[in-house]
Each structure stands twice: as C-alpha cells, then as structure tokens.
Structure 1
C-alpha cells in the first residue's frame, strides 16, 4: 500500500509539472512565484521564497536557520489572440490556462535544500473546426479556394520541472546554489498544411520535407494528381499532459552576495535542457486532393525540442525597513533551440501501399532571435503584515514576422505588474500578483495579421513548519 501510494504521488507530480501553459517571454513566464511576478519578474538578488528554485537557487540561502516551509501555488494565464487575413478574422478559443505548483524547502546550518514542481511555460491556441481562416487553401498545383479538412486546428505545448535545489553559505555574505531538474515536455498538434505550402517546403522554401513517404508523394504528383492539403494530427485534449511526451534533465547554478544590509546582488545560469524526442505512437497523417482523402496512422517524433539556456543577474536595494527596489536583466538563448521545428512521422506497417512503413521528415523554419528582458520591481511594507508590490518588464519579440505561425504566436513583449504579500500569522503567508501584457501585432509571411495580449494572475500560500 505504501509503495502504491508513493508511486501515485510521483505520477501526480509528473503530470502537474507538465501542465500546459501559455508563456509570455517567448515560452517563458514573466516571473515565477507571486512575489517575483508582482515585482516585474525580478528575483536574482532577494528572497522570493520557494520560487527561488526557478529564479535563482542561491536565494534559498535567505531562509532562516532551522526553518522548513511548504508552498502551494496556482497561476492563471489568459491570452487574447486574434487573426485577420483578406477580410476574414478569427480568435483563439484557448483563453485560460491554469498551472499549479508545490514545494518544500528547509535550511539546516549552512545548507538549504528541498523539492519543488511547477509548469515552466509553453504555448497553445485553439481555432476550432469552423475557422474561416483555416477552411480554405490553395492546392499544390495552384487551385485557389480548395477545402481543408474542416477539423480542429489547435496546438498545445507544455514544459514542467520537478526540481531538487541546494544552497550553501560559503560565507555569511555569499551563498552558492544549484538545482538538478527533471524536465517533462509534451505537445498536441492538429494542423492543416495546404498544397501550396507543402510544395514550397518540398522545394526547400520555409523548411523541408524528405523521407521515403516524400518520394511516394512525388510519384503521386508526377502521375498528375493534385494535393489540397496534408494534415498532422496528434492530440488527447488532456488538461495535464499532451499526446507526444518526452523527458529529460536540466541544471541551474547561482550565487548571491550581500555587500551590506542595503545592497545585495545575484546571478544565475540555467543550462539548456537535454530532452528526449517527444513521441506518440497514436498519430495520424492525412492527404487529400483530387484522389480523395487518405489517412495514415503511425508514430510522431518531435525532434530536438529543447528549453534554452538562460542567464540572469540582478541587484536589490533596501534603503529602509519599508522599501525594497530590485532590478534584473535576463538573456534567453532562443536562437540555439528554436531555429527549426523538426518532426518525423513513421507509418505503421499495417497501412496500405505505398505508405506502409514509410517515413516523412518535416522541418519548418522558425529562426527565433535571442531575447533580453529588463525587469524592475518595488516593494513597500505598508504594515508589519502587508507588503505592496509593483513592477514592469521590457523585452523584444523573439519571433521573426516572416516565420510567425498562428499556432505559436509567442510575440508579447512588455509586462506591467502589481500585487501584495500578507502575513496571516507567524507561520502562514499569502501572496498574489497580477500582470498585463499589452497587445502586440505582427504580420507573417502569409500576410496574416496576428495580435496577442494577456492578463495573468498568481496566488501563493506558504506555511512554516
């Protein structure tokens, strides 16, 4: 019974850690934990509580000697995504994402340590099965206005972590920190690609299509057939984890140094993850044209999907007992991991000829740019129990307009935040945060105008044991 219960707890942690999320700095959240989020996403050089596991593990050293603390959190993200092209318009129905977090931390002597899980980020859209912008397309031979599949068009990417941090007081002023992370990534994708885009990619424009199935398609085209669309479909509509799943690891390192009671600094490095391919053996690839529709079942592998290396540094100033001012700068190495989206489909042997056992390798250009995020936050202790917080962050859009996909519109830039922390009693505290990301508009290579804004919130409860 004990073993079964323990296994159930681990399974729950894995599922919750991979909860799909819609992130705001590319695929990252604008801040981790209600305190950091309310202060503009800062968190390199001051105590952000158990959320230190994502901000800077060295800040766990701010815990008091002999303390243990458990934390629970919930975060809501509410993107507003709209599309317009040629007089037609639509909006994504994926407007609410909820992400839980749990943590336990303790300090013994010079060591602070613990375990935590949270959803790190991701993205997702849902345009349903009746979108006017995805109902028609252009065939491979150039026939305009051909019908697409008429099925759901949606995407969902989730990345979560189960983290095991440790911090060590090198001196009374300097703390070193590190974290070993188990990373879980998952994806759903239901996407139509019209014949015109399929032909372009087969010619090396915007990506590439290769493999034995591509050769079979080429033979079909050479025989005189036209192709209206290809459809990639792997999805389970599970609120916790997507259909294609991969596991891996990541590391974090950090330090803090207190020059005085007034000034402290900190920095951290999150390494690029090492993830296995995101896989599912229950995927469908369909082709339709003047020959009708043919669906092929098989396995999908999303290859070389990784979370980028991130470098952050910051300062915290405490000019009085009531005021704290914090500033951070963060560099996110998107270009190393989001240059291309790579996907392989391997058909089951049970499919009819000529596709049985064949493979199709698809590469779509993304060419994301690296991102620098500047954050500023302020805290004012209105009473012994109540702290008021506000902040802002400013960044560039990492996604080039020409490669912007309506299924992955990660283009928000700036955020304006506020919140509070309230100490209920000596053991229990609550924190809340609100964030607004103003609308950003971009026009992609298909002349689709995409706009994206967000309103987000976070709520955390901590209890000292």
Structure 2
C-alpha cells in the first residue's frame, strides 16, 4: 500500500503544470461576468454586458446606441481538494484564488467596440513540505528512497487582453469578433522519483548522466512567489467570432467560435533542477513548458422572453480538449557555466501522456426583474468529465461536473449598476489508475460594477 501511495503522489507531480488553471469545467470557468455566472454560464443569446468579450462578442451589439461604459470585476475561486489512499490522506492548502477584470466598451451607431483585460483562470495546489503523500518514493532500481522534503506547490494563470467589435447588420441580426492577446504563466516546485522518471518519455543530452548509477529523484523548481504572474511565462494570440439573431419578440438565438490559441512555450531562464543519483547536484538553467495551448470552443444558445420581466436562457458548449491535452512536455537546458559541472549546456526532456477527452457543457439560466432596479437570477450547468481515470492525479483533479448558481443585478443610479453571483459545485470523487481516491468540490463568486461615462 505504501508503494502505491507514494508512486501515485509522485507521478501526479509531473502533471501539475499541464493546464492554465484548475478551474471548473476542465480548465474553463463555468461563467464569465456576474450575470452569466449567476445564470449557469449561459450567454450566447442575451446581453451579458461587458463580459460578452469572453462569452459571445456579438451580444455587445445589444447595447444602446451612444452608450460608453467602463467595467471592473473580481472573481473568487475556492476549491477543496482531498486525496486518500488507505490510512493516508491530505488536503491542498491552496483554497483561494482571485481574478480581476477591467473593460471599456462604446457603441457608435451600428458599431460597438472597446477593450477588456481579464484574468481568465488561476489556481494551483500547495502541499507544503510536510505532506505524507510526498515524502518518499522509489529509485530507478525499485528501492525505497526519500525525496527532497522541500515545498511541493504549483500555481498557473492565464490572462487575455481583448479587442472586441460588433456590427448590427439589421435590427435583428448582429455579428461580432474579438482579437485576443493571451499570456500564461506557471510556478512549479515538484519532486519525481527515479521509478516514475523512468516511466516517462525522456530524452536530451543530459539523460545518460542523469541515469548513471542509481537515480533517486529529480526536482523541478521555478517559482517567484508573487500572486500576479508565475515564473515561466508564454505569450500568444487567439480570436473569437459570434452572431445573434432575434427570431421574434419571444426568441433570440446566438452562437460563437473561440479559436485555439497560438502560444509560445512557457519559459523561465531562472529555474533549478536537482538530480540525486550517486551524488546530489543542483543545476541552474532554463525551463520550457512545450506546446502549451488553450482549446477551441464551439457554443450555441437561445434566450426566451415570455414576458417583459422574465427571461430563460439555454446554451450548449463543446470544448476541444483532446487536441491540446494529449501530453505534458517540458525541457530543461542547463546553464553553460562551471557551477553546473558535467551538466553544463546539456538538456533534459520529459513528457507524459494525458489523453483528455472532449467536453460538452449544458447550461440553463433564468432572470426575473423583481423591480425596475433589481433583477434576480439563477441557473445550473452540467458537463462531462474530460480527464480519464487512468490519468487522474491528486495535483490536477479537474473532475468537477455540475454547478448550481444564483445572483442578482441592481441598478444603483441611472449611470451605475452592479452584479453579484455565487455558484456551488458538489463534490466529485474518482479513483485513479493507482487506486488513489481523489475528491474535488468548489464554491465560487463574482462581483461586477459598471459605470456609464
């Protein structure tokens, strides 16, 4: 039992940095903006405010002509992750992550345009240096060995700077698009024992020296400790297209396509790699997380307005995880300095199969205008789990399926309004390929404020 517990925990460490965020629908948040969030993540066919830049940019065309507004927001993400194997159990202490947003949107005639800055996702795990799951492992000869005993943690974040534009083709039909500048960053402190290192796809000029003698473990360490951006950073682009069409006073339909990103590798020139075989050597160098991308998304939805006070919405989303989450790959390039000894200028490559499945998300929401100033909202979303049990790991349990949401919108003055939302994701429990039982639940909230200029 000890062997499986240790090996299951250690192998999981290699996957910590494989995503942009340990969020709620795979790596995606269940809704963007307080209105969409409160209504189950819907947003394809009704006005979600400035948050349309992340939902469907065509719905920006639903703003009134002459409107000019600025929006600010904050999102709180609070996961609860637990891993159990026999009598051994541990929780991640990383239970609170905060993601801001800022936007400016203006409508001139039939054209709506602007800019928005969004922290799209952010989360991680922190097991400190005293977790029973990360104290020991097995060397490449199968003998039990102790690991570093140092901090085990990860933090990943993704942000977007977006430039949306929409155009009202007719009174009933609108098209929209957004050009996005995307960045992703990562902190990672992890140990990998020799047994599991030998099970990875490995290569590079450093490999013969690393595996000479008996390999106890290797440790990856690149972290800056700041909550704003991680140590290894990559940049790229993406785009969105969308449309809405008002079929009748009762029914509006809409849809969107979010492209897969085109990102550079995530890199840091100030990383450390510790190799413990017959000796212990700490190397300095450059780390690269290779081929990191955000997946393409297709979505469609409708909004029904049976009365002036009531709106009901429903969406379906398809997320193409299988294209971008087939494996996790890193490269370490040691500095060409005397301090690195025989490893100077050498490289070490590692990759692991992930084989995520594509995901379908169904969302429903309702809004009721209780007064001229107050709108009450509620909803739910239901999704498939993209992570195969075989590759499920305690440091990346992206297994949440369902969310139940509520919130409200309130017009403070003729020129100012606010929105709040709360969602609860019930606990999901799965057993991975090593027999480790992993559970994950969440509570999330969002707050937005918009002011007309």
Give TM-score scaled by structure 2 length: 0.94
Structure 2 counterpart of 1:271:
259
Secondary structure at the residue paired with 2:253? strand
Q: Per-residue CA shift, 1:296-345, capped at 9, x if unaligned?
A: 11000111000000010000000001100000000000000011111100
**Residues 27 and 122, structure 1, Cα contact 8 Å, conserved in 2:** no
The CA distance in 2 between the partners of 1:437 and 1:381, in whole Å, is: 26
Do residues 197 (structure 1) and 185 (structure 2) align? no
Do residues 379 (structure 1) and 378 (structure 2) align? no
Structure 2 counterpart of 1:90:
90
Secondary structure at the residue paired with 1:200? coil
Q: Per-residue CA shift, 1:168-221, capped at 9, x if unaligned?
A: 0111110000000000100111111111101222xxxxxx01111112224x1x
Q: Equivalent residues in 2 for 1:21-32 (5 A)?
A: 22-32=22-32
Structure 1 counterpart of 2:303:
316
Structure 2 counterpart of 1:285:
273
The CA distance in 2 between the partners of 1:288 and 1:361, in whole Å, is: 17
Range with bigger deviation, 443-452 or 250-259: 443-452
Structure 1 counterpart of 2:290:
303
Structure 2 counterpart of 1:333:
320
The CA distance in 1 between the partners of 2:23 and 2:375, in whole Å, is: 26
The CA distance in 1 between the partners of 2:93 and 2:83, in whole Å, is: 12
The CA distance in 2 between the partners of 1:409 and 1:217, in whole Å, is: 30
The CA distance in 1 between the partners of 2:117 and 2:254, in whole Å, is: 23
CA RMSD between the two structures: 1.1
Cα deviation for residue 354 of structure 1 reads 2.2
Q: What stretches of structure 2 of length at least 5 have no aligned partner?
A: 1-19
**Residues 22 and 77, structure 1, Cα contact 8 Å, conserved in 2:** no
Secondary structure at the residue paired with 1:60? helix
**Residues 437 and 455, structure 1, Cα contact 8 Å, conserved in 2:** yes
Cα deviation for residue 448 of structure 1 reads 2.0
Structure 1 counterpart of 2:80:
80
Cα deviation for residue 138 of structure 1 reads 1.4
Structure 2 counterpart of 1:136:
136
The CA distance in 1 between the partners of 2:432 and 2:155, in whole Å, is: 20
Secondary structure at the residue paired with 2:54? helix
The CA distance in 2 between the partners of 1:313 and 1:139, in whole Å, is: 51
Structure 1 runs of 4+ aligned residues shifted over 4 Å read none
The CA distance in 2 between the partners of 1:275 and 1:115, in whole Å, is: 21
Q: What stretches of structure 1 of length at least 5 have no aligned partner?
A: 1-19, 202-207
Q: Equivalent residues in 2 for 1:94-105 (5 A)?
A: 94-105=94-105
Give TM-score scaled by structure 1 length: 0.91
Q: Per-residue CA shift, 1:132-176, capped at 9, x if unaligned?
A: 0000111111112x2111011111111110000000011111000
The CA distance in 1 between the partners of 2:98 and 2:340, in whole Å, is: 42
Secondary structure at the residue paired with 2:65? coil
Structure 2 counterpart of 1:54:
54
